[in-house]
Amino acid sequence: MQPASDHTAAIIRQNWQRVRAEVDQACHAAGRTTEQVQIVGVSKYVAPEYAWQLVQAGCHILAENRPQALWEKTDYFAHQSEVDIPPAQQALQWHLIGHLQRNKLKRTVPLIDLLHSLDSQRLAQAINAEAERQGLRCRVLLEVNVTQDTNKTGMSIAQVRRLLALTDQLPAVEFCGLMAMSSLDANPQHARREFEGVRELRDQLQDEFVGQVKLTELSMGMSGDFREAIAAGATLVRIGSNLWQGLLAL
């Protein structure tokens, strides 16, 4: 693979700085500090060398939605850090934000710092077994579907509750919070109400399961609705397209 050109690297750097400034501004507007919101750079649209440039620009969390694409990029990064100056990393993290098939657990569990998309009890049990086998703990967010969209993934609120009641049987899974998406057709006010509903749900679940889990993270907001998500309490915003402007026909 060709390394990204200087021109491409400059575009990626500008995009990162713009996104960083916009997120900081949204934090200020919401009366929150910029340390309260982490930017998860979604690299699923681009080749590994572009993702590498994004880390060089200052992003220290990358996310993919398909396990194979995550493997491809982590392989490239391992190779690249032998031949190039490793990114000035505040320890780089990899997150998975899409469905994780059970037959991909063995290779994926040790690579990821956070799974945003835990979507079933069966998967939680399989992750627990694999993490125990490898002597690891796997940090996860419960993906909850709070919209009426039938094409949206994620668990119902009842499923989330049933799963949280089983945490003592899942010692190798660390439940860290919730992940959600707004409705496809949501205008900003509607998206904000949906995100506030997710935060209220988190608060309620935290009260119910106090002592068992610490649901500190709220992964919500993407390129189109991160401001509303930050206003509603997001701690992780998953930004893709805005980081790759000028490089792709998105």
Question: Which residue ranges make up the site for ligand PLP (CB under 6 A)?
Answer: 42, 44, 65, 97-98, 222-224, 238-241
| H-state helical runs in the chain | 6-29, 48-57, 67-83, 105-108, 121-134, 157-164, 188-208, 226-232
Q: CB-wise, 134 or 190, nearer to ligand PLP? A: 190
Q: Which residue has 């657990």 as its token pair? A: 105
Minimum CB distance to ligand PLP, residue 234 (Å): 12
Minimum CB distance to ligand PLP, residue 61 (Å): 12
Q: CB-wise, 213 or 239, nearer to ligand PLP? A: 239
Minimum CB distance to ligand PLP, residue 39 (Å): 11
Q: How far apart are CA 65 and CA 162, in angstroms?
A: 25
Q: CB-wise, 49 or 119, nearer to ligand PLP? A: 119
Minimum CB distance to ligand PLP, residue 113 (Å): 16
Q: CB-wise, 173 or 181, nearer to ligand PLP? A: 181
Alpha-carbon radius of gyration of the chain: 18
Minimum CB distance to ligand PLP, residue 159 (Å): 18
Q: How far apart are CA 26 and CA 226, in angstroms?
A: 8
Q: How far apart are CA 233 and CA 198, in angstroms?
A: 9
* CB-based closest residue to ligand PLP: 240
DSSP conformational letter for 87: P
Q: How far apart are CA 236 and CA 70, in angstroms?
A: 19
In sequence order, which residues have a C-beta less than 8 Å from that of residue 73 and are 6 or more positions away? 43, 48, 51, 62, 64, 94
Q: CB-wise, 93 or 241, nearer to ligand PLP? A: 241
Minimum CB distance to ligand PLP, residue 97 (Å): 4
Q: CB-wise, 55 or 239, nearer to ligand PLP? A: 239
